[in-house]
Structure 1
Amino acid sequence: MSVTFAGTMRGYEKKNIIKDVIAGIIIMAVSIPISMGYAQIAGLPAICGLYGSVFPIIAFALLSTSPQFVFGVDAAPAALVGSALISFGIESGSKEALTAVPLITFFVALWLFVFYLMKAGKLVNYISAPVMGGFITGICTTIILMQVPKLLGGTSGTGELPELLSHLAETIGSINIPSLILGVSALIILTVSKKIMPKFPMAVLLMAAGAVMTYFLPVGSWGIKTLDKVEKGLPKWALPDFSVVPLKDVITVSLSVAVVILAETLLAENNFAQKNGYKIDDNQEILAFSVGNLLASLTGCCPINGSVSRTAMGEQYQGKTQLMGIVAGISMMALLLCGTGFIGYLPVPVLTAIVISALAGATEFELAVRLWKVSRTECLIFAGAFMGVLFLGTINGVLIGIILSFSEMIIRTSKPARCFLGIQPGHRHFRDIEEGRQIHEVKGVVIYRFSSNLFFANVSVLQKDIENSLKADTKAVIIDASGVGSIDITAADRLVILQKSLEEKGIRFYITEHIADLNEQMRKLGIGYLVEAGCARRTIHIALKDMGINRPYPLEGGVDNEEISGSRKRADNRVQEFVWAFGKHTEEEIEKQIVNQIKQLKKDVGEIDVEKLMHGAWTHMEELDQDEWLEHLEEHLKEIVNISGKDEKTLAIKLEEHRKEVYEHISEHHPELAKRFKERRHILDEHLKERRPEVYELVVRMRDKVQ
């Protein structure tokens, strides 16, 4: 597994440096209240949250393939760890918590590394845009609802929507008017400035103004809260204590936290990537999560997660690369070393307004409006993921969205696009009969296009459509399977039932136009005999030719169908149909069919009918396929001579005469293939020379006589 280091900063453009530095400083400042608050929710002292915003965020910035996503202490992992401490009987903020939380973080890092080795990032490919949009909007709305009480002079909320609304109602009962005025004013200023001067770092100005106001005015006596003061100094490095909590309990809790980090962060990262037109390496992102959490563990912090609020802030102030993450980490380091006194002057309502402003910009309600106009089902999926996150939490919200996505996909594929095909007189291409009255069915033939993978939920649709279309004069059913990429065992069994039912009625059955891999799938599913029997043909035209129906095709109602003469000279199929049908088993299948045909002809007529042998088991075999068939037949020359009693030279001459006819037909009708025929003839001769040298010498001598 290759790992890219500092990939987003390669070929760095100097014009972005000011934007990245400003965005990094703002992210650092916004991280102060967020990190301190969530660290306390996780059962740690507030200072530990700041520790998590130094080395983990720098490591993530160096390993991440996302140019804008930011790592940090965040809500979901903190809440899970906090509830785990309660189940362990450990008091929040105690000495036991200071050792237990880094241990949980250490095992989270191990689980994430296991996910990296498993390449679990591929799971995101199965999550649709409505799920991602609903998920991100749900997270943003949840965090906004957590932060709103702080605008009112209260504390941050926790839990899901019912708990958040209950906490908000309690806070409204004891609202602090100066805090509300300050917070709402800051929010209005940020909203207006975002519209009229989006590039101006208003958040920095507001934080500076708030600190100045706290320094000169008695904001404390007004009831306006400021951040708690913290001690100076960088975090101390230490391995976690493995004895504080039973490992089996830690492993279980850490797994759930790791899954939350994986799902929430990857979904959010991919959402930002799609919105801003770049790609990320999902698997390397998981490695970055693991390394970030390992450093968090070694510096005494709780599990670290991708942060939508910090990322939205960086996006708002036009951060272009992970340099902003590095700047944020270094700035926090500088703050811890010599600027912790500044933290105590920052008003909580102002910082809360900055966070809410950034989160509001990251919501995707406009996607829901768009979905409502174009697809009510996908809008429902968006709403399901959104409400799931609000009411049931991150993971359950994602699960609900995924279940809804797969349900919608199954419903959609169970009602696939399909139609019956015909031809417009004078033309050669098959078109939907419903296109207009000028399209007519080929007489006695049902041609049916099915545009979906065949599986248990939709094969009955195909079966009913075909059975309902049969008429008294129907001679064949041809399925245009150009839209079929796969088939499951249920569909395979139903195809067999349909084929046998048609056969009993004297109706031939064909599957055409599909990719070669579908033939291989049919063999694996035990219905490869349909391919061997010639039911699988490369094109509709070849299937009709196999029935003896040639251009211009007779149309229903006696409609005249005199084709444009130029179209008759075009090849039905420019590739070898036998190779298309049997793939890597082509030579083996040709050999098998020749052996079976020799046995059957001898049994039926008492002697070998060489003419039938030369034309192969498949009628209207493509010329290059015929050439390969003759090459394999030459290998059985001695056997045919012994069984038939015919003269060896006579048989060899017959084979070469037939090969000459094949070449002349190619030269006349498809001259573009003549050169390829000669080149391929040389390769086949080499094979024959290697396998049967005595036959090769005879064939070469007879070839000279024929020519």
Structure 2
Amino acid sequence: MQKPLVGLTRQNVGRELLAGVTLLAIAIPLNIGYAQIAGLAPTAGLYALIVPTVVYALVVSSRQLVASPDAAAAALVASSIGGLAVAGTADYATLALAQAIISGILLVLLAVFKLGFLANFLSKPILVGFVGGLALDILVSQIAKMLGVKIDSGGEFVEKVADLAAGLGTTNPWSLMISVGAVAILLLGRRWLPLVPWALVVLALATIFVMLTSADQAGVAVLGPVPAGPPALTWPVLDWMMWLAVIPSAIALTMVATAEGLLISRSYGDRRHYPTSPNRDLFALGLGNIAAGASGSFAMGSSTSRTAAMDQAGSRTQLPSLVLAAGTLLLLLFGTALLADIPSPAIGAIVGVAILPLLGIREFVDLWRLDRFEFWIGATCFIVTLFVGSIPGILVAFVLTLINLAKRAAAPAIDVLARNDSPSDSLLEQAPRGTTTAPGVIVVRMAAPLFFANADVFVQAVRSAVAAAGGPSEVHHLVVDMEAVTDVDVTGSEAFATLREWLDDEGVALAFSRVRTGARPRLERLGVLRTDAVYDTNRAAVAALTSRVG
């Protein structure tokens, strides 16, 4: 097993420690905001940066991936648990702990049984639509916070928009002033000096502004007292029916965390030339979620923004995550008084700016330009997630994935091959359907596994090829190039048996070329390949063709 902190050397330890300070400055304000989105106390976001972060950093294979609660996870927690308990209550917090633990167990099981490939069913359009819907829902709440307008943050999207529109007349001018200044600093600062932790700068300046002007007495909401002390190990005590009630949302969290985590891990591993282990990364994320549920936090995933920030800072190890954990612990022990006067509009501005890229506007434009069908998949997932809910959104995502998969699988490339009779070579190459390779011989290539979605398509394609070449009276041999047929299911084998009967009735002999060694046992067991095939006097010509097809 790979040792913890692989890649750390005497030469880069200073850079890694500095990156850790940067990560601390980025993570603390964001996690406070994400905890509020989730309907939990600020400490729930801070606790996630201690025990879960240490567990994850010491186990994960990726040298750079940062794990933490993010906007999507926070929105999922709020939307799924909001219907089971009232946000801010003890029961609500307990359900969030249970949700994180179940998600962690599922991630560990995915790793143990090497099932990480299931996350591949969440294609880019689906992730863009799903996360974009969650992000827009969050953005409405953050805009209300920036304006000082009170809305029901646990309500449906339409209700939030209606409450926001109705409350525009109650906008607090001090809150608006803080928000405008915060957004300007974040956007301009990121553009001109991207390495500066502008989120921390905004929190510090906004807090000083509130303390100097007493803006809180003019109606500006502040964070308020934050309990001091380290996280305490705990375990959610719930009725088994409540455990069952959070399983669907835990599955949704697991799938999104798996898809995003593996994608980001592989991407940075390839970019920075170090190996990663998908199953180990899932195992680390699972242990991190279990630790989150056992230490007063909520579900965590892989943070794209923080990982990108660490890469930009030159970090190539997990030491910054350990620095983050140590710094957060010190803050909880000695510095919680500094958090009490943080204005909510500043937190709303930080979270709002952070989630803007998650809306996926650029990705939707690219999808529209590249593939309209995939654009509508993403758009449908976006709309369902936004107007119906996160759990229906993830269910629709899987249904759309299966439809997309079936659509593509049902139309495989089926080529009819012909011999090139030019003097330079005599290799078989692709030709229009119906052209014969030699008198009475057709070679057909199926460029996909043979299964229920494309079996009938293949049979009809072969019949059409024979008919186009003059029918059974002109075609005596059919050669099937099996190089791309890696598998077959029962439906596919039955369809092939029907084709074989038709060929036998019409007097067309059947042969195969380039059968894959790994696929041969299954093809023989299901009856696609037969050893009793008998060919007429052209058998030698067929054998010659099958040895050279390509």
The answer on 1:546 being equivalent to 2:539 is yes
Task: Give the drift of 1:382.
Answer: 2.2
The within-5 A match list for 1:445-464 is 445-464=441-460
The within-5 A match list for 1:185-196 is 185-196=181-192
The answer on 1:21 being equivalent to 2:21 is yes
Contact 1:80–1:257 under 8 Å retained in 2: yes
Task: Give the drift of 1:550.
Answer: 8.5
Which of 151, 155, 161 in structure 1 is aligned with 2:157?
Answer: 161
Amino acid at match of 2:429: R
Spell out, residue by residue over 1:266-309, the C-alpha distance to the aligned partner (whole angstroms, 9 max, x if none).
Answer: 2232343465464754433443344334434443x243322658
The within-5 A match list for 1:580-595 is none
Partner Cα separation in structure 2 for residue 371 and residue 8 of structure 1: 38
Farther off after superposition, 277-286 or 13-22: 277-286
Contact 1:262–1:286 under 8 Å retained in 2: no
Compared with structure 1, are the counterparts of its residues 507 and 52 closer, same or farther at alpha carbon in structure 2 (3 Å cutoff)? closer
Contact 1:58–1:325 under 8 Å retained in 2: yes
Task: Give the drift of 1:109.
Answer: 4.9
Partner Cα separation in structure 2 for residue 460 and residue 357 of structure 1: 52
Task: Give the drift of 1:572.
Answer: 4.3
Task: Give the drift of 1:125.
Answer: 2.9
Match of residue 482 from structure 2: 481
TM value normalised by structure 2: 0.84
Instruction: Give the 3-state SS of the residue equivalent to 2:139 in structure 1.
Output: helix
Match of residue 128 from structure 1: 123
Partner Cα separation in structure 2 for residue 354 and residue 423 of structure 1: 66
Whichever structure has more helix as a proportion of its residues is 1
Instruction: Give the 3-state SS of the residue equivalent to 1:491 in structure 2.
Output: helix
Q: What is the count of residue pairs matched by the alignment?
A: 530
Amino acid at match of 1:71: S
Amino acid at match of 1:509: L
The answer on 1:144 being equivalent to 2:139 is yes
Task: Give the drift of 1:187.
Answer: 1.3
Instruction: Give the 3-state SS of the residue equivalent to 1:479 in structure 2.
Output: strand
Partner Cα separation in structure 1 for residue 262 and residue 141 of structure 2: 24
Contact 1:144–1:359 under 8 Å retained in 2: yes
Contact 1:105–1:297 under 8 Å retained in 2: yes
Larger Rg: 1
Partner Cα separation in structure 2 for residue 33 and residue 457 of structure 1: 47
Spell out, residue by residue over 1:159-199, the C-alpha distance to the aligned partner (whole angstroms, 9 max, x if none).
Answer: 55324323433442422222123212321332223223322
Match of residue 76 from structure 1: 76
Partner Cα separation in structure 1 for residue 176 and residue 161 of structure 2: 18
Compared with structure 1, are the counterparts of its residues 25 and 451 closer, same or farther at alpha carbon in structure 2 (3 Å cutoff)? same
Q: Which runs of 5+ in 2 are unaligned?
A: none
Compared with structure 1, are the counterparts of its residues 496 and 51 closer, same or farther at alpha carbon in structure 2 (3 Å cutoff)? closer
Amino acid at match of 1:266: T
Task: Give the drift of 1:418.
Answer: 2.1
Compared with structure 1, are the counterparts of its residues 8 and 81 closer, same or farther at alpha carbon in structure 2 (3 Å cutoff)? farther
Instruction: Give the 3-state SS of the residue equivalent to 1:221 in structure 2.
Output: helix
Amino acid at match of 1:490: T
Match of residue 517 from structure 1: 518
What is the Cα-based RMSD across aligned positions, in Å? Answer: 3.5
Match of residue 34 from structure 2: 34
Partner Cα separation in structure 1 for residue 516 and residue 534 of structure 2: 16
Task: Give the drift of 1:9.
Answer: 5.4
Match of residue 4 from structure 2: 6
Partner Cα separation in structure 2 for residue 142 and residue 319 of structure 1: 34
Contact 1:198–1:316 under 8 Å retained in 2: no
Match of residue 631 from structure 1: none
Instruction: Give the 3-state SS of the residue equivalent to 1:220 in structure 2.
Output: helix
Compared with structure 1, are the counterparts of its residues 113 and 490 closer, same or farther at alpha carbon in structure 2 (3 Å cutoff)? closer
Amino acid at match of 1:508: A
Spell out, residue by residue over 1:510-564, the C-alpha distance to the aligned partner (whole angstroms, 9 max, x if none).
Answer: 2223312333222221344x244268xxxxxxx997244698x9xxxxxxxxxxx
Amino acid at match of 2:346: V
The within-5 A match list for 1:167-316 is 167-237=163-233, 239-240=234-235, 242=237, 245-246=238-239, 248-273=240-265, 276=268, 278=270, 281-299=277-295, 301-306=296-301, 308=303, 311=306, 314=309
Instruction: Give the 3-state SS of the residue equivalent to 2:479 in structure 1.
Output: strand
Amino acid at match of 1:431: E
Compared with structure 1, are the counterparts of its residues 117 and 143 closer, same or farther at alpha carbon in structure 2 (3 Å cutoff)? same
Spell out, residue by residue over 1:66-96, the C-alpha distance to the aligned partner (whole angstroms, 9 max, x if none).
Answer: 423332383323553443335xxxx9535x6
Contact 2:221–2:345 under 8 Å retained in 1: yes
Contact 1:23–1:313 under 8 Å retained in 2: no
Amino acid at match of 1:487: V
Partner Cα separation in structure 2 for residue 498 and residue 111 of structure 1: 44
Compared with structure 1, are the counterparts of its residues 446 and 456 closer, same or farther at alpha carbon in structure 2 (3 Å cutoff)? same
The answer on 1:353 being equivalent to 2:345 is no
Task: Give the drift of 1:343.
Answer: 0.6
Match of residue 85 from structure 1: 85
